Amino acid sequence: MKILVTGGAGFIGSALIRYLLKETKCEVINVDLLTYAGNLDNLKSVESHRNYTFEKIDIRDRFAIDEVFEKHQPTKVIHLAAESHVDRSIDGPGDFIETNILGTYTLLECSRKYYQTLSNTSKKDFIFHHVSTDEVYGDLEGTECLFDEEFPYSPSSPYSASKAASDHLVRAWYRTYGLPTLVTNCSNNYGPYHFPEKLIPLMILNALEGKPLSIYGTGEQIRDWLYVEDHAKALYIVATKGRPGETYNIGGHNEKTNFDVVSCICSILDELVPKVDKYADLITYVEDRPGHDVRYAIDARKMKEEFDWVPKETFQTGLRKTVIWYLENSEWWRRVDSKIQTRSRLGVKNK
């Protein structure tokens, strides 16, 4: 089996590739443009694996993507390449439209062209697996509801709107053209190699450096947290066993407020790297961001019922592993932080 992974140098994509190469016999083709959050250091442990190939390509480049399909003849596509940071989408939505919508459209068209060349036997194995987010569903504020696969879309930010649009494109290519596609919508991921601008790694690193731990608003926003290695396994299961045309929601069964997340980080650091003052003393509150959704929560019963999949890690075990990883891998995050600071000093826009 050959799996083409887009965005494989990113956080979730690299976790998926590490899983595929260490736990399966699949061949993996990693397509990534290596924008600011793409980092080949995430794949150091598998970069020399005989079943791994890297192609530095923009997913909007139709000619280059066509060449990848012709050269590698993938059995499946798992599409993760995306701009994914809400704050960045508010400041500059254009990049999100380009990558998340136009990039997905290009991949769908290249996949459709390739699919038409396959034998009937090969067509039965092919799947275009689009990896999306729970943010497309909008806000669950004031309800006890969970996002199931039939929940209506109501995106709040340019990021979530661009992902919602790409989800609709994927389903349209299944309905209109018969391209075998499926969609997964996941909750907030966390774990090793997470880009330092995201909440959990940012709080860990700021705490270690004695910087303020800034929380939006009152910190009562609720998210469902999924350990990235649990997500990687779920993606492989869906790509190999999922039914074309279906949607599968992947969640961690761990609803936590942002304040609780930061407090848990502080408690773990108090134990592992004790200081005279408590890390929680660094917590501050800042003005909430525009359109900030209050609550997300995934109903992942379909994953359990169809595939017997449930996350292995609780939030407590996964968060502890994550904190320990950052403590033991300072070279990785210092290199990433150095690149961010260098680009900032040079006035280079992070795309």
Task: Report the CATH number at residue 168.
Answer: 3.40.50.720
Return the pLDDT at 347.
41
Query: For residue 212, what are its two tokens?
Result: 């303020």
- Alpha-carbon radius of gyration of the chain: 20
pLDDT one digit per residue (tens) for the chain, 351 residues: 999 999 999 999 999 999 999 999 999 999 999 998 899 999 999 999 999 999 999 999 999 999 999 999 999 999 999 998 788 889 999 999 999 999 999 999 999 999 999 999 999 999 999 999 999 999 999 898 999 999 999 999 999 999 999 999 999 999 999 999 999 999 999 999 999 989 999 999 999 999 999 999 999 999 999 999 999 999 999 999 999 999 999 999 999 999 999 999 999 999 999 998 999 999 999 999 888 999 999 999 999 999 999 999 999 999 999 999 999 999 999 999 776 664 443 343 333
CA distances from 151 to 144, 148, 225, 226, 249 (A): 13, 5, 19, 20, 11
In a domain, residue 41? The reply is yes
pLDDT recorded at residue 289 = 86
Cα–Cα nearest to 76, from 26, 145, 38, 35 = 26
Parallel, antiparallel, or unpaired: how do β-strands 76-79 and 2-6 relate? parallel
In a domain, 327, yes or no: no
d(CA 21, CA 16): 9
Residue 202 resides in a domain: no
Examine residue 140 and state whether it is found in any structural domain, yes or no. Answer: yes
Query: pLDDT at position 108, please?
Result: 98
Interacting residues of 131 by C-beta distance below 8 A, sequence separation 6+: 12, 78, 79, 80, 82, 184, 186, 235
Q: Which residues constitute the domain of residue 171?
A: 2-189+228-252+292-314
CA–CA separation, 332 and 334 (whole Å) = 6
pLDDT for the residue numbered 197: 87
Q: What is the pLDDT of residue 341?
A: 60
In the chain, the number of structural domains is 1
Q: How far is residue 83's CA from residue 347's CA, in Å, rounded to a whole number?
A: 20
Residue 343's pLDDT is what? 42
pTM of the model: 0.94
Site of tokens 């998210």: 223
Task: Report yes or no on 238 lying in a domain.
Answer: yes
- Residue 336 is assigned to a structural domain of this protein: no
In a domain, 216, yes or no: no
**How is residue 24 written in tokens?**
């399966």
Positions annotated as catalytic residues are 134-135, 159
Q: Does 205 map to a domain?
A: no
